[in-house]
Amino acid sequence: MNPPAPVGAAERRGPLRAGDRVQLTDPKGRHHTIELVTGKTFHTHRGQFHHDELIGKPEGTVVRNTAGVDYVALRPLLSDFVLSMARGAAVIYPKDSAQIIQFADVYPGARVMEAGVGSGGLTMSLLRAVGDDGELTSVERREDFADIARANVESFFGGPHPAWSLLLGDFDARAMERAPGSVDRVILDMLAPWENLEAAAHVLAPGGVFLAYVATATQLSRLAEDLKETGDFTEPQAWENLIRTWHLEGLAVRPDHRMVGHTGFLLTSRRMAPGVDAPLRHRRPAKGSYPTDDDWTPEDLGERPVSDKKVRRVRRDVTVGRTEELGAVEE
């Protein structure tokens, strides 16, 4: 049988159904994300309640467990899903995904290529932006990461998304397979995006947006200077964004003690017309102002390496869970 169609807006608006993901929020603001199953029980060390108490009820329902703890039940937003889903590689946080959609100007019907899919967090935001009539081609080197991303994306949308193609391999090779100027936006999340500038210039249409997400200032500097060197792109712009939440309780209104600080840098540029060199706006740095060693590793950049054992476990959990979910739907 065919897999279920992606979940549409109408299905997300109705009452809670068996198979829906629900985010439960307790009085202290702690979240639990569950999938509603007929006859199943949600329990913690502080009591339990039956899923059937929520099935058929509208979102925003409050359910009380056997210990008298109240939970507000809502379908998770995309940002909630990304932060709670299974991960192999680190995800791009929602605060950065939102800026990527806006500043890369990803619109309904756009043709987008992304590389470095990781666990699929940004992919879901891009699919939301391009819509069913757009085109998102995602390229991932690692098969295990690709499996995790596919399982997460299909779990969120309820099945394969009509605008999405997930390819294994290097961005360079996959981009050069396409006709010149056949993509409107290129988005790279990788250790050394400067290695892919020629391929990005090949596949981007004139005026198309190039955007890269990098973790460190050394990567940002290398990328900016190499991008200027090509002459194929306009003067790059770079920034980071920080989020500071506020404590709201009566007159005690103040910034929270903790905040979401630096996660990464974003750099954007526009594709020049073929054969037209971009005028350089700034003086070039002296030769040797940045390292030329091409052998970059996550450890070099201060990232915590992901063990193969963890990736195998997450891959097994999400793909087996997705297979069982599809089997249950087919029955």
Does the fold of domain 80-301 match that of domain 9-76?
no
C-alpha–C-alpha distance, residues 70 and 58, integer Å: 16
pLDDT at 286: 57
Residue that the structure tokens 């050069």 belong to: 176
Do 185 and 115 contact (CB within 8 A), yes or no? no
pLDDT at 329: 46
Residue that the structure tokens 């029955």 belong to: 331
pLDDT at 14: 87
Domain boundaries, the chain: 9-76, 80-301
Dihedral of alpha carbons 10, 11, 16, 21, sign: negative
Is 3.30.2130.10 the CATH classification of the domain at 9-76? Answer: no
C-alpha–C-alpha distance, residues 113 and 186, integer Å: 5
pLDDT at 299: 62
pLDDT tens for the 331 residues of the chain, in order: 344 444 444 456 789 999 898 999 999 989 999 999 999 999 988 899 999 999 999 999 999 999 999 999 999 999 999 988 888 778 898 999 999 999 999 999 999 999 999 899 999 999 999 999 999 999 999 999 999 999 999 989 989 999 999 999 999 999 999 999 999 999 999 999 999 999 999 999 999 999 999 999 999 999 999 999 999 999 999 999 999 999 999 999 999 998 888 899 999 999 999 888 888 665 555 555 555 555 666 666 666 677 777 788 888 888 776 666 655 544 4
DSSP element (H, E) containing 223: helix 217-230
pLDDT at 296: 62
pLDDT at 258: 87
pLDDT at 66: 94
Strand blocks (E) in the chain: 21-25, 31-35, 41-44, 47-50, 61-64, 70-74, 111-115, 135-140, 164-168, 183-189, 204-214, 237-239, 246-249, 252-255, 265-270
Dihedral of alpha carbons 202, 203, 207, 212, sign: negative
User: Which whole-number Å values give the CA distances from 190 to 54, 108, 198, in the listed order?
Assistant: 42, 25, 15
80-301 CATH fold = Rossmann fold (3.40.50)
